[in-house]
Amino acid sequence: MRLHALAVASVLAVQPSVHAAEPLASSISCMDAEGIPATVVSTKSGKRVPIIYWKSETFSSSGWNPTRRCKEVSARFQEYHQAGTLEFITTGRMNGMPVLCVSKTDGGGCAGLLYTLKPGQNATATLKKLFDIRNKPGAAPLEETTARLYVNFETVVRNKAASGVTSSPSLVKPVAGPNQSAPLF
């Protein structure tokens, strides 16, 4: 019996360790995707994958048109990506307001603000709509706990890249203009 346990331990010791998949994203920025401001992931393989299209004019009257929101939120995505905190996107509350934020773990708390929602806005519904998440086979992945929704960022990028939701470099261009860094709403 002792020899058998030693043999199993020896086999396990020489097995290569399992590592998480290499992140797809090399950078995240706001680009013009066929006339629509979009948060775009540039992958390490050279693909440009739009993950959010900024179409709503809801906040334009307060100075936050789609282009400005795209630039600000895309810059935050990039900041969290570089810091290694962009694992999951979830909902939360900051300063009494509903928000979309990043979390390092499924079930974890907000580690950084992506953007603030309007008072009373349903954060879970907004997150589902933002990433076009549907409750059907083949839709974007989601992790729902009883309290909050968690969307795995890398899986969203992988699914959108695999489903052909990518753009050629000629159709996705950097958005011109200065990058504002004021609060969103």
Question: What does each C-alpha distance from 18 to 12, 13, 61, 86 come to in angstroms?
Answer: 12, 12, 51, 21
The pLDDT score that the predictor gives to residue 129 is 83
What's the CA gap between 90 and 142, in Å, rounded?
Answer: 10
| Structural domain count, the chain | 1
Residue 17 lies in a domain: no
Q: Is residue 168 part of a domain?
A: yes
Q: What integer pLDDT is reported at residue 165 of this predicted model? A: 55
- Rounded CA-CA distance 46/44 in Å is 5
What local confidence, expressed as pLDDT, does residue 19 receive? 36
Q: How far apart are CA 78 and CA 91, in angstroms?
A: 19
- Quote the tokens at residue 110: 């907000």
Nearest to 145 by CA among 172, 118, 109, 176: 109
Structural domain includes residue 2:
no
Decide if 114 is inside a domain: yes
Could you list the residue range(s) of the whole structural domain that residue 169 is in? 22-174
**Nearby residues of 39 by Cβ (< 8 Å), 6 or more positions away:** 28, 29, 30, 50, 51, 52, 54, 70, 73, 74, 77
Per-residue pLDDT of the chain (185 residues; tens, 9 = 90+): 444 333 333 333 333 333 345 556 789 999 998 899 999 999 888 888 888 888 888 778 888 899 999 999 999 999 999 998 999 999 999 988 899 999 999 999 999 999 888 888 899 988 888 777 654 444 444 444 446 889 999 888 888 887 765 554 444 455 554 443 333 43
Query: Is 159 contained in some domain?
Result: yes
Give the model's pLDDT for residue 133: 62
